[in-house]
Copies of this chain bind each other. A is one copy, B any other.
Amino acid sequence: MATPLEKARKDPNSMKARILKVARRMYGEYGYHGTTTRMIALEVGIDISTLYYHWGEKTDLYESVILDINNDLRNKLIEVEKVIHGRPLARRLGIAIDMVTDYLFECPEISNLVLFQYFRKTRKEPNLDFHVPDFISDIARSMDLCKTGESIPTSASMRVLAMMNSIHNFISGENFFREMLKLKREEYIDHVKETLEFMLIPAFNGGSQGQTDINQTDIRR
């Protein structure tokens, strides 16, 4: 119960938690420089100084937001792994795509912030944690890209990144793409899942030979 983040997670109705929730959405929507502390405070319905009282500087709040969404995503992936454990690879992928996509469409700020974290610079760099996230190794193992116990090869990390980013892209780009393609939300979500299956299943399933039948008949429409 040391950090403000832990306090916020303990009581979701606390002011800290309310601010954090809005900050996630706003930072996700407008990015770091595009979001002002006043915008967040206004949306929460409090004075700006209350925000500073709880979270300190703007960068501190942003870092907490990043930690928070990374934590949520990690938990979700662990949950998914429990569900798909033991099934054949193509089936695992299909379920994982389905679950992760549904989850991220409910919390699109996660995809926004993950991509933002990867792609954009801030004027003064507060970037600290330049390490391979642990869940990338977990996913790699779950996708049979490397054996348990072994250290994960670079190409496996790259493939996991490619997979995760493909998903994030469609979540994060929803507004733009949906408007472009004139789709309703549900239609769009279905198309996203179909497209992800189209791209990911042949690639990852093709690696381990002799299962192409599963791929063709069981998963794809």
Contact = CB atoms under 8 A, between A and B. Distances in A.
Contact of A159 (B155, B195, B202): B195
Contacts of A48: none
Contacts of A132: 180-181
Interface in A171-221: 172-173, 175-177, 179-181, 183, 191-192, 194-196, 198-200, 202-203, 206-207, 212
A53 interface: no
Given A115-B115, A115-B119, 20 more contacts: A31-B31, A32-B34, A112-B119, A112-B120, A116-B119, A119-B172, A119-B176, A130-B180, A154-B181, A158-B191, A158-B192, A161-B169, A161-B173, A162-B195, A162-B196, A162-B198, A166-B169, A166-B199, A198-B203, A199-B203
Contact of A170 (B29, B30, B162, B195): B162
A131 interface: yes
Interface residues on A, range: 35 or more
A30 B121 contact: yes
A151 interface: no
Contacts of A203: 198-200, 202-203
Instruction: Count copies of this chain in the complex.
Output: 2
A188 to B, nearest CB: 9
Contacts of A165: 165-166, 169, 173
A82 interface: no
B194 A155 contact: yes
